Structure 1
């Protein structure tokens, strides 16, 4: 009888602990999506915080200098929408459009400085990072997050004031 009582007590404790854990997780707000629009993209600069290849490994070329992360600044100049790449070796920008929530990057331009490694690889990786499906959401702290996903990688950018 003593062993049965111990087993019942352990089962009761385990069930209670699992239920409490589920309640804690359930109470956290889930990330919320928002529409990808020019206004939403242009409201902030977007600083890269994470980029993973399809195999789950970090895109190391994008993180060689943590003090100078890739930052995207979406802007409009005299009716032309473009994105500027900040912290790249070459001065880089590209036109873009948002059609039905899909961002299309086009006509990239760049200075042609002969950048040494690892800066040259950073510039190339930066151009690849902006190609993909864009989504905007807010994290649990209600801060905007820009995600760009392609078949090769997923990159997350946090919103920073311009």
Structure 2
């Protein structure tokens, strides 16, 4: 009886570990679930969960500190659409417009602080990552995912609730 209980407990732990591993999957299982609009972009912040070059290599500069992932905050400020790149060393932002479901970013503006090399690489990789074709999909848990694809890479961002400031 004790050995049966041990086997059941071990099986439960293994299944739990497998389920946890599955929750972190970054694949997009359903493409284009909704059109790209200002409203869909501004509904959430978008936290980077995966970014790979076309050859499948992870863009390591974007993942040096898992506690501070690249996060995009789309907003309207004084009637202008803006996106802020969060967790970068320098303050980075750009204007954007949406026309027929296509995103166009203006030039990215950035402060010019001297950053340690790994942070400077993060900033550079972040600026490259947000340039491309935007689309929405859903992950295996049916949650929205923002996909940005350009000629060299594809990045996936999961929706995270915006924090309210008092």
Q: TM-score range by the shorter chain?
A: 0.7 to 0.9
- C-alpha RMSD of matched pairs (Å): 1.0
Show the counterpart of 2:36: 36
Shift of 1:141: 2.2
Distance 1:60 1:66 in 2: 11
Distance 1:76 1:63 in 2: 28
Give the alignment's TM-score, normalised by structure 2. Answer: 0.78
Shift of 1:40: 0.1
User: Is residue 98 from structure 1 mapped to residue 93 from structure 2 by the alignment?
Assistant: no
Give the alignment's TM-score, normalised by structure 1. Answer: 0.80
The residue matched to 2:75 in structure 1 has which SS? Answer: strand
Of 95-104 and 137-146, the range deviating more from structure 2: 137-146
Distance 2:147 2:76 in 1: 21
Shift of 1:139: 2.5
Of 137-146 and 115-124, the range deviating more from structure 2: 137-146
Shift of 1:109: 1.0
Q: Could you tell me which runs of 5 or more consecutive residues in structure 1 were left unpaired when the two chains were aligned.
A: 1-29
Output one character per residue of 1:13-38: Cα deviation in whole Å (capped at 9) or x when no partner. Answer: xxxxxxxxxxxxxxxxx525210000
Shift of 1:107: 2.7
Output one character per residue of 1:41-90: Cα deviation in whole Å (capped at 9) or x when no partner. Answer: 00000000000001100001100111100000000011100100110000
Runs of 4+ in 1 over 4 A off after TM superposition: none
Show the counterpart of 1:138: 138
Show the counterpart of 1:19: none
Show the counterpart of 1:7: none
Equivalences, count: 133
